[in-house]
Amino acid sequence: MSKKVAVIGGGSWGTALAQVLHNNNYQVQIYDLSQEKVDEINQDHINSYLPDVKLPEQLKATTDLKEAVNGAEAVVVVVPSHAVRKAAKDLAEVLETDTLVVSATKGLEENTYLRMSEVLAQELPAEFEDKITVLSGPSHAEEVIKNHPTTVVAANEDKKMAQQVQDMFMNDQLRVYTNPDAVGVELGAAVKNIIAIGAGIASGLGYGDNALAALVTRGITEIKRLGVELGAKSMTFAGLTGLGDLIVTCTSQHSRNRRLGYKIGAGKSLEEALDEMKMVAEGVKTAKAVYEVAEKHGIDMPISNQVYNILFNDKDPRQSVNDLMMRGKKHEIEEVAKEQSW
Ligand SMILES: NC(=O)c1ccc[n+]([C@@H]2O[C@H](COP(=O)([O-])OP(=O)(O)OC[C@H]3O[C@@H](n4cnc5c(N)ncnc54)[C@H](O)[C@@H]3O)[C@@H](O)[C@H]2O)c1
Ligand SMILES: O=P(O)(O)OC[C@H](O)CO
């Protein structure tokens, strides 16, 4: 009999990951709060967030968490970041010991600024702490669901755990690498969404590829600056979950964060832009958390800072561009500047 996995959250990414696991011969049950989502999956074999794709009939969904996790060897948490604490509290009531926990949500918790694996570790019983593996990378659900080649990373300090998750998801369409630096993997995934909102804003203002390249390159510089201060390994930001995910999110037609930014650059307010979004754009809440963390640690994050001010202080995006362009003159590579006292 095939092994079972429960996917917590039946949105676009949860459904795409559920299909990967189904393709890898797992019996998969999706849990979602929304009866409408559950009915779509069970009755029509679709997810309306991923149009044109028929889901395997064996994919089952439920609004009953206990039923979803019963007998599962792993749970994959893939609800929006603002819902992870609640989902983890609910899971703590029903999770069987020895179940692996995979965290596929990208974001930081508002107010606590915690990474998603930290939120899960706080709410789940202590024995689960080492069993939480982060799964992240440049991976739009719209492409994974169509089996387009995609690469992601399973991150856990415990090599065995990371490899177990690698084995669970890996197939000829989804290549999974391992990395012990879960801190860097999660921070790269969270902060790139803010820069992607910035890339959308730039596009909405009518700017082109030069501005995009600047945002990606200077964006990864400030993501790494924050990450290293918070304990991540610098090299992780050159990898799939750093530069890789930043590129895909800043450039893709599929990105929710880029799309939201575009609307704002084209003149809409944050409220209007959010009203038009069905799916979650994590960069909005993360912009707030990162603004506060950067202030607390005294870290210079000029792009994230401008995105925060556009989103929450009604700053004119054109003024933000001007302020970014007219900052004090700098050496490009700060490590070299320090080393050579430039
Ligand atoms: N969509 C992508 O391509 C993609 C890719 C990689 C990572 N992610 C990340 O995955 C996370 C989820 O994104 P998404 O795009 O699937 O979101 P989504 O907006 O498409 O769907 C979220 C789903 O979660 C459900 N939900 C909310 N709270 C819940 C709870 N407490 N319990 C169970 N279900 C709950 C909602 O009903 C909804 O169906 C985000 O952090 C996102 O950044 C998304
Ligand atoms: O659509 P976005 O902007 O939430 O990005 C989705 C994934 O994180 C891309 O890797």
Which tens digits make up the pLDDT trace of 113-144?
Answer: 999 999 999 999 999 999 999 999 999 999 99
Ligand 1 centroid – CA 11 distance (Å): 5
Region 30-35: mean pLDDT is 98
CA 13 to centroid of ligand 1, rounded, Å: 6
Question: Cβ(28)–Cβ(59) under 8 Å?
Answer: yes
What is the pTM assigned to this prediction?
Answer: 0.98
Please tell me the residue having the least CA distance from ligand 2 atom 6: 140
Nearest CA to ligand 2 atom 1: 255
Reference 191, options 150, 246, 122, 142; nearest CA is 246
**Can you tell me the distance from the alpha carbon of 338 to that of 30, in angstroms, rounded to the nearest whole number?**
50
Nearest residue (by CA) to ligand 1, atom 23, is 11
- Indicate the annotated binding residues for sn-glycerol 3-phosphate: 106, 137, 139, 192, 245, 255-257
User: What are the binding residues?
Assistant: 9-14, 49, 106, 137, 139, 141, 192, 245, 255-257, 280, 282
**pLDDT reading at 1 higher than 80:** no
Model ipTM?
0.99
Question: What is the pLDDT at residue 51?
Answer: 87
In 3D space, the residue among 18, 279, 317, 56 whose CA is nearest the CA of residue 168 turns out to be 18
Q: Is CATH 3.40.50.720 what the domain over 4-180 is classified as, yes or no?
A: yes
Q: What distance in angstroms lies between residue 79's CA and the mean position of ligand 1's atoms?
A: 4
Rounded Cα gap, residues 194 and 287, in angstroms: 6
Using pLDDT thresholds of 50, 70 and 90, give the confidence band for residue 52.
confident
Active site residues: 192
**How far from 232 is each of 136, 187, 240, CA to CA, in Å?**
15, 8, 15
Question: Measured in angstroms, how far is the CA atom of residue 258 from the centroid of ligand 2?
Answer: 9
* CB environment 265-276: b (16+ within 10 A), e (fewer): beebebeebbee
The one-letter amino acid at 275: D
Strands 132-136 and 150-155: antiparallel
Q: Which residues does residue 178 pair with via DSSP β-bridges, in sequence order?
A: 154
- H/E segment holding residue 257: helix 256-265
Taking the C-alpha atoms of residue 178 and residue 154, their distance in angstroms, rounded to an integer, is 5
Instruction: Enumerate the CATH 3.40.50.720 domain ranges in the chain, comma separated.
Output: 4-180
The CATH architecture annotation of domain 183-332 reads Orthogonal Bundle (1.10)
| Shortest-distance ligand to the CA of residue 78 | 1
- Residues of the chain by 3-state class (helix, strand, coil), percent to 5: 55, 10, 35
Which pairing describes strands 4-8 and 60-62: parallel, antiparallel, or unpaired?
A: unpaired
Looking at the chain, the domain(s) classified CATH 1.10.1040.10 span: 183-332
The stretch 167-188 carries a mean pLDDT of 98
